[in-house]
Amino acid sequence: MKRWPVRSTVGLPHSHYYIPRIRPIDKSPLFRRKFQSGACWSAIRTQKLGDVGEGITECMLNMWFVEEGARVEEWDKLCEMQSDKAAVEISASYAGVIKKLYAQADDMVKTGAPLADIDDGLPVEEGSAAETSQEHQEDGPSHSNRDEKGEQVKIEAGAGEEGGTQRRASAEADLNDEMRSDRSLLATPAVRGLLKQHNIDISKLNGSGNEGRILTEDVQAYLENQKESPLSSSAARSTQAVESEQSETIQPLSRVQSQMFRTMTASLAIPHFLYSDEVNITRLSGLRKRLNLSRETQDTNISLLAFILKAVSVSLNQNPLLNARLDAADNLGKPQLIYRRNHNIGIAMDTPAGLFVPVVKNVGALSILDIAYEIRRLSQLGNAKKLSPAHLSGGTITVSNIGSIGGTVVAPIITEGQVAILGVGKARVAPVFGQGDLVERAEIANFSWSADHRIIDGATLARMGSMVKHFIEDPEKLMVFMR
């Protein structure tokens, strides 16, 4: 094949150059329509050394894995480069035959310098090729092609219209624009294939990669949006005319919120079941009021929560399973229970910074007054945003006094690492039947338990729930059992 002077490729963004065969390029429509011949252009693509990262501008070539004349597939190992601490394997961007290697082993190669020429052997149409090369020259300075893999330019031969020079010129201009916008949106060949497969216009997407590069995730997100929009558009059509626009402000999660997000996502794996009961706290309420008026408890009020914590702890002595931890899979893959002796009860606390669950350690060894002091200390720390990880860790069971804000029955979420949780609703005044079927006034609160149904069955939880209820309804019974 005769080699004619190659059109200059200096300053062109693309990495193609063509070896043209002699042919009069006559653009008259008659000529183009009738003139047919076999493929005459052969595309040789130059693979350049891409950015290796870490601000490195040149690397040393360690070794080639291919030689001139070898056939490579896309992604085959081409060579190994070395830059300071990293040995990096470069893969071939194109499939084809290696025509030329630009560097030898031990040579330094700069980022962006050519590495190898690969002849992909694909024939390119004559007409479009001529326009392509013309386009390359025209568009030359307007692009910065830093994509390591180069880009395949898809030329729509839409300029195949007959017509005068003017129309052709405008068609070429349209092609220019299309190619300019086409090329200015970076995307790898794999992503472009995906776009073509789904018939998506590349200019409709926003890239989220380096320098606005379009990634597969962007394509997928766009496809999902497309799926939703037909439904929403029909709904929109049926709604009334004047509606204020929904405005959205984006705010990242605060530290506490993201921690909550993480822990609750982890808790999703636990199968919960809810057990709720009404507890008559009239007598306990009366006892509390009397105690809080007496001298011993001047500096702090003993809250209902302190009694509940002690009641739960004493009940746990009889139901140790609820204080255990489930190890879902140890080294052998078998789940096992880890019983814990100390009752470290976490109390859910609403602080200015959000939800925290500090732990009252070893409730079994504390008196109710001690527990009350501890609750007060922790809530003061919480309000001052001074709770440390040590305060928040080590819990074996949790009690959430959401009733202090409101609510009757709640379905609390078990913390990871525990198997049960108690939520206390708001105390309300209600009539109950007392002795002799007489209606009397009572204060009722709902105790809602959630437990991990993988190891706790309904009967176990019901026993626990009933025991706590008895201790709360009859505080004297608590006195008998507490240590």
Q: How far is the CB of 326 from another protein (least distance, A)?
A: 14
At 119, give phi and psi (nearest 5°).
-95, 110
Q: How far is the CB of 260 from another protein (least distance, A)?
A: 18
Tell me whether residue 457 is one of the annotated catalytic residues.
yes
Q: How far is it, in rounded angstroms, from Cα 282 to Cα 443?
A: 5
Q: Which residues bind another protein (CB under 8 A)?
A: 54, 60, 62-63, 75, 77, 80, 82-89, 91, 105-106, 329, 331
Q: How far is it, in rounded angstroms, from Cα 289 to Cα 306?
A: 14
- Which sign does the torsion angle of CA 134, 137, 142, 143 carry? positive
* Cβ neighbours for 363, distance < 8 A, ≥ 6 positions apart: 309, 310, 312, 313, 343, 344, 345, 371
Strands (E), 320-466: 325-327, 336-338, 345-351, 354-356, 359-360, 397-400, 420-424, 428-433, 439-452
Residue that the structure tokens 């739960």 belong to: 312
| DSSP β-bridge partners for residue 448 | 276, 423
At 281, give phi and psi (nearest 5°).
-105, 20
Q: How far is the CB of 72 from another protein (least distance, A)?
A: 13
Indicate the residue among 235 and 329 with the shorter CB distance to another protein: 329
| Degrees to nearest 5, angle at CA 446 with 449 and 324 | 20
Where residue 101 falls (left for φ over 0; alpha for ψ -120 to 50; beta otherwise) is: beta
Token pair of 156 as six digits:
């729509």
From 272, 453, 470, 474, active-site residue: 453
* Cβ neighbours for 144, distance < 8 A, ≥ 6 positions apart: 13
The DSSP letter of residue 416 is T
Tell me whether residue 106 is one of the annotated catalytic residues.
no
From 51, 174, 327, 457, active-site residue: 457
Indicate the residue among 81 and 387 with the shorter CB distance to another protein: 81
| DSSP β-bridge partners for residue 100 | 117
Burial of 56 from C-beta contacts in 10 A (0-12 / 13-18 / 19+): middle
Q: How far is the CB of 330 from another protein (least distance, A)?
A: 9
SS3 221: helix
Q: How far is the CB of 150 from another protein (least distance, A)?
A: 17
Q: Residue 40: in which H helix or E strand, if any? A: none
Q: How far is the CB of 61 from another protein (least distance, A)?
A: 9
Single-letter amino acid code for the residue at 54: E
Strands 420-424 and 397-400 come out as parallel
The DSSP letter of residue 375 is H
Closest residue by Cα to residue 393 from 418, 376, 412:
418
Indicate the residue among 88 and 413 with the shorter CB distance to another protein: 88
Q: How far is the CB of 283 from another protein (least distance, A)?
A: 48
Single-letter amino acid code for the residue at 213: R
Q: How far is CA 359 from CA 76, 313, 336, 417, in A?
A: 57, 13, 24, 13
Indicate the residue among 75 and 433 with the shorter CB distance to another protein: 75
Q: How far is the CB of 392 from another protein (least distance, A)?
A: 17
Indicate the residue among 26 and 89 with the shorter CB distance to another protein: 89
Q: How far is the CB of 59 from another protein (least distance, A)?
A: 10
Token pair of 7 as six digits:
């059109």
* Cβ neighbours for 184, distance < 8 A, ≥ 6 positions apart: 143
Token pair of 35 as six digits:
């003139």
Q: Would you please indicate which residues are annotated as catalytic (active-site) residues?
A: 453, 457
